[in-house]
């Protein structure tokens, strides 16, 4: 269950079976409640569940502040189809307050800076060889190169 909660905090939503989602929801709500307390004891208890220092600090700095005005219901379960192999009911467990990513639009006044082009040295072109004129047509390439030879040999004569 700790791994499911860790994945939920990192990805904001996970797809799992309904029973696992219900069990992970209880634990996730408990961990987020600890994140809202911001005490050393709460930090240690959250680390006992998550077993990852970076994820614990993310919980306290990014995830829990989103839920400061909420007294519960930090996650929701959405039922999905049944799994094809064994028929288990699948569910989507997600945080109710998702992280909002804002993309900056490019400014109209200035052109977007293109990535620097690596410097290349120029090769001098080799002089072309004089081609001897011949009456032979150029050989065909690919699939058709031996086709005419095949039909000449298989003819009736």
CA distance 155 to 157: 6
Contact 52, 7 (CB under 8 A): no
- Does pTM surpass 0.85? no
Query: What is the widest separation between alpha-carbon atoms in the chain?
Result: 99
In tens, the pLDDT along 98-134 reads 776 566 766 665 555 556 655 555 556 666 666 656 6
In tens, the pLDDT along 53-68 reads 999 999 999 989 999 8
Give the pairing type, strands 13-17 and 89-95. antiparallel
CA distance 31 to 56: 10
Three-state DSSP at 128 gives coil
| Full set of structural domains in the chain with CATH | 2-95 (3.90.1030.10)
Q: DSSP label at 17?
A: E
In this structure, how many other beta carbons lie within 10 angstroms of the beta carbon of residue 88?
14
In tens, the pLDDT along 17-63 reads 999 999 999 999 999 999 999 899 999 999 999 999 999 999 999 98
């Amino acid at each position: 269950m700790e791994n499911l909660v860790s994945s939920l905090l990192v990805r904001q939503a996970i797809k799992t079976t309904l029973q696992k989602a219900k069990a992970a929801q209880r634990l996730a709500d408990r961990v987020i409640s600890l994140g809202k307390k911001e005490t050393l004891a709460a930090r240690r208890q959250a680390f006992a569940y998550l077993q990852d220092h970076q994820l614990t600090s993310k919980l306290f700095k990014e995830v829990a502040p989103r839920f400061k005005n909420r007294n519960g219901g930090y996650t929701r379960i959405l039922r999905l189809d049944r799994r094809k192999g064994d028929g288990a009911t699948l569910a989507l467990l997600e945080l109710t307050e998702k992280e909002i990513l804002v993309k900056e639009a490019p400014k109209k006044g200035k052109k977007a800076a293109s990535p620097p082009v690596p410097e290349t040295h120029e090769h001098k072109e080799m002089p072309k060889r004089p081609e001897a004129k011949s009456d032979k047509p150029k050989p065909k390439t690919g699939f058709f190169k031996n086709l005419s030879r095949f039909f000449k040999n298989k003819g009736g004569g």
